[in-house]
Structure 1
């Protein structure tokens, strides 16, 4: 464990190397504190360095008097505030056995974190942050990062506060009208047969194995709606479930070939995928999703299911971008699968 004061923002050298471990966005909000604690636990579990980052840009205001012109806020004042926020954050996680550094960056928060994602192993941030000049890391940024990041991202909603040992917000503040439920020892991954989902399954399996949890694979089939009017008879829907079940069994066999000791629970459910996965987020340690599923166009940055879950999840959500992995090559040899 390193001394957070030994790597204070004020002492950070200009040519600090790019981050290679877990990067967490900090802006002093309750949401970023939750993200900080989750990231510290994950860095300790993976034995990876933890990088605390905040970013700011100096705002310019148009003068509102007869003497037209512009006024700027002093850069040193803002930077001092950012350094204070990072120092407080570093102190909160000083008890974790991780190598820690804290960085203040000048620039757009999303741009700063996206650049770091090129070398980082994981980006972690809250689902919403505070306004103002310091950071603005969360909110619009938390929507941009999963779509553009070069590494997996984890979004932590404020409703996770209690499970992370932080003061729990009022139910109205966290937007949750449902009663609290116990968190199970599972990592849940949503699948739809797409190549991106298969990559998400591999990452979720690694996460579950690393943390000693069960992997729960969920495939949700939307109920009958007008969009499914082309299905001629109930028998066809039964056949659809049977066919998907065969493919899930084949996928489970493939997964066990790469993770023979990992407990796997496969569930085929009927219901809107977004609602099913949001509900799963209440009781899962982590929900893992791909950036884009079968329902999206090739050029879309986030599929509608992933985007919908990110906005309403009650637990941590990891988004995994599509990638090349040699383990994907032998999936077809285990049985039928949907072609994305």
Structure 2
């Protein structure tokens, strides 16, 4: 199988390459590095300008692939191929190539406008999470890799029975990588959760109930064999999503796995509002699984 990693024609951080190389090693799969160049315009009056732009874009793409090769050589990546694709949409080009090559995963980086160490969707990653029918990996901005290997896979869930397939896939991923496995759910305190007349302890009671409900669900999943017996289970609690996610410990060599919401008859990566918030505040790389 092949992992596709998309790199932009302009200079970007090497986070996507770091993540793709580590996943390639952990999953024993080859890498295909892709950069996408916009096609030439068809207007005759713009022919000269368009030709100059096309030549410049092609040159930048070749430079980016050369830079990618340097990074991957330093990371010790083997079985790597490189390809330039002419396409108006980076996400569209990656999806088409993934279908043609029967790729197992697409990896992209975060927007350079995002907060360092966290994930920020750019136009390419946003397009992928709305259209992809295969898993999508997203690296935080400035990601420097997991080191020797991934040591833990965490799967974020809400406790819904429909998440069983996501949990099994994440657990299998952890077993294949020889990493520990953790299940986490988040109980988020909201500033306007309840009005004062309801009582000052009402919010604490709701959060405590959510925590107890999650732990009961964890125990039931372990008893039924859905969750591995040696899996860790925890609940993150905080005022807002960021505080809730930061309330649980994270390892630098960790992966976060999230499932998506079903959208119509097709299996795609389509995130609900809670999953989107988790991704945006995740301090580790995320793999998004299609519904």
Please indicate, yes or no, whether the TM-score normalized by the shorter chain is above 0.5. Answer: yes
The answer as to 2:274 corresponding to 1:305 is yes
Alpha-carbon shift at residue 59 of structure 1 (Å): 6.2
Change (3 A) 1:190 1:57: same
- Pick aligned residue for 1:219 from 181, 185, 190: 185
The answer as to 2:105 corresponding to 1:122 is yes
Q: How does 1:1-12 map to 2 (within 5 A)?
A: none
Change (3 A) 1:41 1:300: closer
Alpha-carbon shift at residue 122 of structure 1 (Å): 0.9
- Pick aligned residue for 2:129 from 140, 146, 160: 146
Match of 1:287 in 2: 256
- Pick aligned residue for 2:61 from 74, 78, 82: 82
Match of 2:81 in 1: 101
The answer as to 2:232 corresponding to 1:274 is no
Q: Could you tell me how far apart the structure 2 residues matched to 1:313 and 1:61 are?
A: 43
1:53-84 Cα offsets, whole Å, 9 max, x none, are: 1101046599xxxxxx5331433442232123
- Pick aligned residue for 1:194 from 146, 150, 160: 160
Alpha-carbon shift at residue 97 of structure 1 (Å): 5.1
Task: Please provide the CA RMSD for this pair.
Answer: 3.6
Alpha-carbon shift at residue 290 of structure 1 (Å): 1.5
Q: Could you tell me how far apart the structure 1 residues matched to 2:33 and 2:150 are?
A: 29
How high is the TM-score relative to the length of structure 1?
0.66
Change (3 A) 1:73 1:129: farther
1:150-205 Cα offsets, whole Å, 9 max, x none, are: 1111111124237569xxxxxxxxxxxxxxxxx99322111102355333222221
Q: Could you tell me how far apart the structure 1 residues matched to 2:269 and 2:135 are?
A: 17
Match of 1:242 in 2: 212
Number of equivalent positions: 265
1:205-230 Cα offsets, whole Å, 9 max, x none, are: 1222122222111112233665567x
1:8-60 Cα offsets, whole Å, 9 max, x none, are: xxxxxxxxxxxx411101125343x1211221121122111111011010465
CA contact (8 A) 2:15 2:142 kept: no
CA contact (8 A) 1:26 1:125 kept: yes
Change (3 A) 1:185 1:40: closer
Alpha-carbon shift at residue 280 of structure 1 (Å): 5.0
Q: Identify unmatched segments of 5+ residues in structure 2.
A: 114-120, 263-267
Larger radius of gyration: 1
Match of 1:180 in 2: none
Moved more, 103-112 or 120-129: 120-129
> SS of the counterpart of 2:189?
coil
Q: Identify unmatched segments of 5+ residues in structure 1.
A: 1-19, 63-68, 131-137, 166-182, 294-298, 323-340
Change (3 A) 1:144 1:239: same
CA contact (8 A) 1:117 1:150 kept: no
Match of 1:72 in 2: 50
The answer as to 2:34 corresponding to 1:34 is no
Change (3 A) 1:164 1:258: closer
Change (3 A) 1:301 1:211: closer
